[in-house]
Amino acid sequence: MQNQFDKELQDRLVRYAAIDSQSDESVPTSPSTACQFDMLHLLRDELVEMGAQDVELTEYGVVLATIPGTAPGPTVGFLAHVDTAPQFNASGVKPRVIGGYNGGDITFPDDPALVLSPAEHPYLAEKIGHDLITASGTTLLGADDKAGVAIIMTMARHLLNSPDIARGPIRVAFTPDEEIGHGVNERLPADLRADFAYTLDGGQVGEIEYESFSADRAVVTVTGVSIHPGWAKEKMVNAIHLAAKIVQTLPQATMTPETTDGRDGFIHATDMEGGSSEMVIKFILRDFERDGLAAKGELLRQVCAAVQAGEPRAAIKCEIYPQYRNMRYWLEKDMTPVELARAAAEAEGVAPISVPIRGGTDGSRLTEMGVPTPNIFTGMQCIHGPLEWISVQDMATATRTCLRLAQMAAKG
């Protein structure tokens, strides 16, 4: 079922996915991991080789390049991130291609007990005959977002080899550390030099997204009273017990990721580290509205204050830090980039779907910083875990949609 772009996309994703480029949220510098430079240097060199202009790797770890325009029009940016999620093993990825998927269960050579079933994943059932790419069972694949990287690189090569295609200037950018919320350096909007842009970081075919979560992170530090346990009666204050009480006091049935969907936000305890003398709990707070996000932060503070009041000998500190805000607040003022992407999808025979992203993209920050940046589908599925998979043909549809978008932008 191979068509135009399929072989190149397949080869690029298999090659890119095998490169370890996992980010690390415990490291404050960006890129947070040296291994991300393996991808960044590779992409820089490939862009130079294919003839892109203004190719650079910035000191803050972003690869930028220009695909020259052949007609008047706005400068359109296309972005993808090179890092893979820290939530699951991403070292030693062994991508594999399942040609002409037959519709049955998919098993994994490195974990025979793992099964990807169309009965549990209805979108997979729609991909009979497609060429699928998965990992081997013990790692994620990294299609999030190396599928986006492969799509942009394929589009760039095609445009550079097709001067007859009328389009305005195209800027491409490959960012680090998106998965840990550090992908958009404060200098990127000016360096991107785009009138508007798109992230290639979406899921099923047709997704044109302009709403994301608003996000904060929180760090709660619980300091107890440490003393030898043999003489601890009425003296020790165990920070582990207090940390557990904070987590258990928060709404478990209505405000965690596993109990929410749609437009519901959540408070998610992501990490808990320490010992009886001191514990650190990390949370992420998510809501689609500013008021809802603020309310979740206030709830966390109130719970910490209540546990503190119950044990005044302890010290409980709750710190909340902003991450990103719903891109809708800015995009809804001028939906031109969204409507252009929808029109491009429709021109390729794809029905556009706009649903809120239960997460964020680099576009969330870029939009807030003045570069309108909705999100476009790649086809990636079951991301951040060992069942991750993608259809090569879905990637090809995304590539054609982006090419169509570039041409339609030049026409005004």
Antiparallel, parallel or unpaired: β 106-108 and 315-324: unpaired
Same domain as 219, residue 198: no
83 flagged as catalytic: yes
Of the CA atoms within 13 Å of residue 284, those in its CB half-sphere come to 18
Digit-coded pLDDT (tens) for 181-208 = 888 999 999 999 999 999 999 999 999 9
46 Cβ contact list (under 8 Å, min separation 6): 153
Question: Is the pLDDT reported for residue 399 higher than 90?
Answer: yes
Q: Is 179 annotated as a binding residue?
A: yes
Q: How confident is the model at residue 159 (pLDDT cuts 50, 70, 90)?
A: very high
The reported pLDDT for the residue numbered 257 is 95
Please identify, among 292, 324, 356, the residue that sits at the C-terminal boundary of a domain.
324
Catalytic residue among 6, 145, 177, 178: 178
Residue predicted with more confidence, 260 or 181: 260
110 Cβ contact list (under 8 Å, min separation 6): 94, 136, 137, 138
What mean pLDDT comes out for the span 379-399? 98
Please identify, among 279, 297, 324, the residue that sits at the C-terminal boundary of a domain.
324
- Is residue 1, in this structure, part of any structural domain at all? no
Q: Give the count of domains, the chain.
A: 2
Q: Is 158 annotated as a binding residue?
A: no
Same domain as 336, residue 207: yes
What mean pLDDT comes out for the span 14-28? 95
- Is residue 93, in this structure, part of any structural domain at all? yes
Identity (one letter) of the amino acid at 246?
I
Q: Is 105 annotated as a binding residue?
A: no
Please identify, among 263, 298, 324, the residue that sits at the C-terminal boundary of a domain.
324
- Is residue 97, in this structure, part of any structural domain at all? yes
Same domain as 171, residue 75: yes
The reported pLDDT for the residue numbered 114 is 97
Percentage of the chain exceeding pLDDT 70: 99
Cα–Cα dist 386/355, whole Å: 25
Same domain as 336, residue 228: no
Same domain as 146, residue 34: yes
Question: Is the pLDDT reported for residue 367 higher than 90?
Answer: yes
CATH value at residue 360:
3.40.630.10
Print the domain residue range for 311.
214-324
Same domain as 66, residue 199: yes
Same domain as 160, residue 16: yes
CA 270 from centre of chain: 17
CATH value at residue 251:
3.30.70.360
Same domain as 106, residue 169: yes
- CA nearest to 286, candidates 359, 209, 355, 357: 359
The reported pLDDT for the residue numbered 181 is 87
Q: How confident is the model at residue 83 (pLDDT cuts 50, 70, 90)?
A: very high
Same domain as 65, residue 194: yes
Question: Is the pLDDT reported for residue 11 higher than 60?
Answer: yes
- Is residue 88, in this structure, part of any structural domain at all? yes
Same domain as 92, residue 205: yes
Q: Is 41 annotated as a binding residue?
A: no
258 flagged as catalytic: no
Question: Is the pLDDT reported for residue 138 higher than 60?
Answer: yes
Catalytic residue among 83, 145, 195, 287: 83
What mean pLDDT comes out for the span 283-288? 96
Question: Is the pLDDT reported for residue 273 higher than 70?
Answer: yes
Digit-coded pLDDT (tens) for 291-325 = 999 999 999 999 999 999 999 999 999 999 999 99
List Cα–Cα distances, 44 to 34, 35, 47, in angstroms: 16, 15, 5
Same domain as 206, residue 343: yes
The mean predicted confidence, pLDDT, of the chain is 96
Q: How confident is the model at residue 25 (pLDDT cuts 50, 70, 90)?
A: confident
Q: Is 241 annotated as a binding residue?
A: no
Digit-coded pLDDT (tens) for 100-121 = 999 999 999 999 999 999 999 9
The reported pLDDT for the residue numbered 1 is 46
Question: Is the pLDDT reported for residue 366 higher than 50?
Answer: yes
Question: Is pTM beyond 0.85 here?
Answer: yes
Same domain as 400, residue 301: no
